[in-house]
Amino acid sequence: MIELDEEQKAARHWFESLRDRICAEFEAIEREAGSDAAFDYTPWDRADDAGAPGGGGVRGLMKGRVFEKVGVNVSTVGGSFNPEFARTIHGAAEDPRFFATGISLVAHMANPHVPAVHMNTRFLATTKRWFGGGADLNPPIPYEEDTDEFHARLRAACAAHDQTFYERFRKWADDYFYIPHRGVHRGVGGIFYDHLEGPFDQTFAFTRDVGEAFLDIFPRLVRRRMDTPFGEADKARQLAWRGRYAEFNLIYDRGTLFGLKTGGNVDAILMSLPPVATWG
C-alpha cells in the first residue's frame, strides 16, 4: 500500500466519489429504459519495478440497453518511471518517482443518435504537482443543439475560475483530439488541459467543477436522444465512426500510453475501445 499525503488523499477521495455518483446516474438511466443493467467492479493491484506494492484501482464496466459499453475507472498508483519514459513526463526527468490518481470514463452508446463521450481528470505528482483532464463529446450523428449545450456547460465551469480557461482549453482539445492520418477530429470537442499548476485548493476546485459539469450535462443529452428511432444506415455510420475512435486511442492517446508504460491493468486501460466497430 503506497502512503499518501493529505493532498493526494483528497484527490483520490474526490475521484472515487465522483465515480460513485456518475455510475449511480448511469444506472438510473438504464432503469428508465427498462433495463436492470448495473456496473461490475473489478479491483486490480499494481507492483512497481522492484515488486513492491505500487497502488492499483477499480475498473467499473456496464453493458446495458442505453449504454452499450461504458467504463468508469479510478486508479491510484505510484513508484518510479523507467528513465526513458521519465524524460517525457512533466517534472520527472530530474527524479523518476511519481504519484498519480484519477478517474477515466468512456461511454459507447447503443443508439447512434446518442453521443459517445470521454471524460478524464487526474492529479499527478513528480518534482511538480498538477491537475489535468477534461471532457469531449463524440457523436456519430452530431446535433448542433447538443454540441452547443455541452460546450456552454464547460464554458461556465471554466469561467468560474479564469476567463481565459475555456478558449485555451477548447483549442487544446481541438488540437489534441485530432487524427492526423485521417485529417479529421475525433468528435465535436470539449476541453482538455494538462500541467495545471498552482495553489492546490484552486487547481483542485477547478478540476472538481469539470467533473460536476460533466455529471450535469451528459445525462441530459443521453435522456434527450436515447429513444430516437434509428435504422441500419445510422448504425453503419456509428460503427465506422467507432473505428476512427479506436484508431485515435490506440495510436495517439497519451492516457493509453501512460497506463501501459506504468504497469496499469490492461483491461482497464483498453476499456475505452468500442465493443463493435467497422473499417473499410
Alpha helices per DSSP H over the chain: 6-32, 83-86, 144-159, 165-176, 200-225, 232-251, 254-261, 266-269
The grid coordinates listed for 58 are 477499480
Q: Is 185 a catalytic residue?
A: no
**Residues near 264 by Cβ (< 8 Å), separated by ≥ 6?**
46, 57, 75, 77, 258
Q: Which residues of 111-130 are buried (b: 16+ CB within 10 A; e: fewer)?
A: bbbbbbbbbbbbbbbbeebb
Contact 101, 75 (CB under 8 A): yes
* β-pair partners for 156: none
Q: Which of 163, 165, 188, 164 is nearest to 177 (CA)?
A: 188
Active-site residue identified among 108, 113, 118, 185: 118
* Angle of helix 200-225 versus helix 144-159 axis, rounded to 10: 160
53-62, strands of its sheet edge to edge: 40-47, 53-62, 67-80, 97-109, 116-125, 129-138, 189-196
Q: Which helix (H) or strand (E) holds 122?
A: strand 116-125
Q: What's the grid cell of residue 174?
A: 481541438
The answer for residues whose C-beta is within 8 angstroms of residue 151's C-beta and 6 or more apart is 170, 189, 190
Instruction: State the catalytic residues.
Output: 118
